Every structure is written in structure tokens, then in C-alpha cells.
């Protein structure tokens, strides 16, 4: 079984980029009334304690959501809409002016989904799966009637296609592996190939690490080729917060969005420079925003 536990990384700079992009993309899709099928192929535990043992050990949130929160309180008039929306969702789990609890992708989607939307979650880890089930059950207590959520302890890469196409023909799929297993790079492409055959108009949000290793550097190129081969529009957003050479941990990551919601690019164009100012630690801090229609 894998050793990766997202609790070590919750609220880090990669989560900030991923969750802001995800939430705003979903908000844009929800401008239309028709229900959306939300699929999280690698759901994690749903909710994370930032003062728990794992988070304190890595302290990654200090370089991510907590640093962003401090920067926002110092620059209240410059906060982009996508960043305030993100903090509004985090605030639902926390007392005023404090962030001790961090919502992962599945919890965020649960919070913002509407009664006509559906949520499908996959998590394979034998420890995180029961946490996810428990966290979702506790959150569901806030909703009457309960929201439509299905949770599976299944392989997200192979299970994804089982949900496609969604009955309403509207869907958002988050593909967020840990890449702890180096096969994950190829599995992302395979899962996308199978999914696009069934549901070419879905919005696919793929998170990827930016690291000095061949499979990691090749993934964005392969995704670009995939989109070109299938004539799919895409958006690529990257955020780097420090030099990769001088750090042991992850210094940068990206989101690849296939069939991006209308106006997501404009929102990210406003948000990414703000994130670089807030989270950037040295001259290597940068963002990248590319698209192909």
C-alpha cells in the first residue's frame, strides 16, 4: 500500500492553486442550472487538521494557505474574487480569524454542490477511506435533504469511466493523484483517453507536480499533445513559490484544465500574480498561464 498521506501536505501551495482553480471553475459551470456530476478520482480524507501531528510535522500549510491568509489580511483591497471565494469555504469549517481545519477537494465540492449536482468520490487508501466516509457523513448532517454523494474505495483511474457520460451530460472531473507511484503519469493519460471517448465535453482538472524528473517534465507536454490529437481546448496554470534546486520539497505545481469553463482564464490571470506576491519566497517565484482554444 502507498505511504502517501495528504494530511502531510494539506493546505500547501499546491493545494492553494488546485483548490482555487477547482472552486472557481465549478462556480462558473454552476452559472447554468442543469446538474453537474462532480468526480474526484483521488479524494483523500476530505478534511484535515492543520494543528494535527502530520500537518505540524511538515508545516507545509505555513507556505500555503496560512501565508496566503496573512497576506490577504494585510492587503484586503487587492484580494481577487477567486481567493475570497476560497477563504469563504475554508471559513465554514473554522472559527473567525483562525484556520485550524482545512477542507480537501472532496469536502470543498460537497460544500458548494447544489441539490441538482452529484458527487462521486474515489479513495483507495485503507486509512484515508474510512476518514473520508466519516468526514463526509459528519458534513452531511448540515444538509437537509442530504446531498447526493457516492464514495468508493476503488481505483479512481479505472473507475472514472464508469461514471461517464453523466446523465445530464455535464461533468467536472478532478484527477489528483499523488504521483508517488511513477505509473501515475501514464495512468493519467490512459484514464483521460478512456474518458474523452465517452465524454468529450466534460471539464477535466488535472493536478501535476513540477519536479526535476523526466516523467514529471514530460506530463505537460503529453497533455498538450493529447489535447491537440483530440482537438480539445485547454488551460494550463502553474505556480512556483521558490527555487526548485534549493528546496527538498515541492516548489511548484500546475493545473491542466481540459474544456475549461468560460472565463476561468480571466479569473486565473487576476489570481496568479496575486498568489506569486503572497506566496513567493525568492526570485524563482513565478506563474504561468497558457491556453489553447
Q: Which residue has the cell 497558457?
A: 290
Least spacing, CB of residue 141 vs ligand SAM, in Å: 21
Distance CA 219, CA 172 (A): 21
Which of the residues 15, 176, 229, 293 is marked catalytic?
176
Query: Residues at the annotated binding site for S-adenosyl-L-methionine?
Result: 19, 42, 105, 123, 155-156, 176
Q: Which residues of 162-175 are buried (b: 16+ CB within 10 A; e: fewer)?
A: ebbbbeeebbbbbb
Selected from 67, 176, 227, 234, the binder of ligand SAM by CB under 6 A is: 176
Q: Are 279 and 285 in contact (CB under 8 A)?
A: yes
The DSSP element (H or E) to which 125 belongs, if any, is: none
Under the binding rule (CB under 6 A), the answer on residue 255 touching ligand SAM is no
- For this structure, is 215 an active site residue? no
Q: What are residue 205's DSSP bridge partners? A: 174, 257
Of 157, 185, 199, 287, the one binding ligand SAM by CB under 6 A? 157
The least CB distance from residue 271 to ligand SAM, in Å, is 17
Looking at residues 41 to 60 of the shown chain, list those that interact with ligand SAM (rule: CB under 6 A): 42-44
- Min dist CB 213 to ligand SAM, Å, is 17
| Residue closer to ligand SAM (CB basis): 34 or 190 | 190
Cβ closer to ligand SAM: 141 or 180? Answer: 180
What are the angstrom distances between the C-alpha of 235 and each of 138, 164, 220, 286, 293?
35, 22, 11, 17, 9
Q: Any contact of residue 105 with ligand SAM (CB under 6 A)?
A: yes
Q: Where are the alpha helices (DSSP H) in the chain?
A: 13-29, 53-58, 65-74, 81-91, 105-112, 128-140, 156-159, 184-198, 214-229, 264-279
DSSP single-letter state for residue 176 = -
Q: How far is the CB of 152 from ligand SAM (least distance, A)?
A: 9
Kindly state the helix (H) or strand (E) to which residue 95 belongs, with its residue range.
none
* Interactions with ligand SAM, residue window 77-96 (CB under 6 A): none
User: Judged by CB, which is closer to ligand SAM: 6, or 120?
Assistant: 6
Whichever of 73 and 186 has its CB closer to ligand SAM, that residue is 186
Q: What is the Cα–Cα distance from 291 to 78, expressed in whole angstroms?
A: 25
Interaction residues for ligand SAM, span 116-155 (CB under 6 A): 122-125, 128, 155
Q: Is 258 in the site for ligand SAM (CB under 6 A)?
A: no
Amino acid at each position: 500500500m502507498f505511504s502517501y498521506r495528504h494530511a502531510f501536505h494539506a493546505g500547501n501551495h499546491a493545494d492553494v492553486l488546485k483548490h482555487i482553480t477547482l472552486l472557481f471553475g465549478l462556480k462558473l459551470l454552476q452559472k447554468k442550472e442543469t446538474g453537474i456530476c462532480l468526480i474526484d478520482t483521488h479524494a483523500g480524507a476530505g478534511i484535515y487538521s492543520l494543528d494535527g501531528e502530520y500537518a505540524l510535522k511538515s508545516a507545509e500549510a505555513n507556505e500555503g494557505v496560512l501565508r496566503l491568509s496573512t497576506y490577504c489580511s494585510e492587503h484586503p483591497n487587492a484580494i481577487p474574487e477567486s481567493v475570497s471565494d476560497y477563504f469563504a469555504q475554508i471559513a465554514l469549517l473554522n472559527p473567525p480569524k483562525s484556520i485550524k481545519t482545512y477542507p480537501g477537494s472532496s469536502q470543498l465540492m460537497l460544500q458548494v454542490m447544489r441539490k441538482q449536482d452529484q458527487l462521486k468520490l474515489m479513495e483507495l487508501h485503507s486509512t484515508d477511506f474510512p476518514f473520508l466516509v466519516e468526514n463526509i457523513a459528519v458534513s452531511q448532517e448540515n444538509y437537509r435533504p442530504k446531498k447526493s454523494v457516492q464514495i468508493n474505495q476503488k481505483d479512481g483511474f479505472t473507475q472514472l469511466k464508469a461514471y461517464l457520460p453523466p446523465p445530464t451530460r455535464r461533468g467536472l472531473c478532478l484527477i489528483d493523484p499523488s504521483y508517488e507511484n511513477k505509473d501515475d503519469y501514464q495512468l493519467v493519460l490512459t484514464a483521460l483517453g478512456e474518458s474523452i471517448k465517452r465524454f468529450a465535453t466534460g471539464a477535466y482538472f488535472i493536478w501535476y507536480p513540477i519536479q526535476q524528473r523526466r516523467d514529471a517534465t514530460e506530463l505537460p507536454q503529453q497533455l498538450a499533445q493529447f489535447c491537440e490529437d483530440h482537438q480539445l481546448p485547454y488551460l494550463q496554470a502553474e505556480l512556483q513559490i521558490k527555487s526548485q534546486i534549493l528546496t527538498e520539497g515541492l516548489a511548484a505545481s500546475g493545473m491542466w484544465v481540459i474544456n475549461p469553463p468560460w472565463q476561468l482564464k480571466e479569473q486565473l490571470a487576476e489570481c496568479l500574480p496575486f498568489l506569486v506576491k503572497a506566496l513567493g519566497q525568492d526570485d524563482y517565484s513565478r506563474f504561468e498561464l497558457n491556453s489553447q482554444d
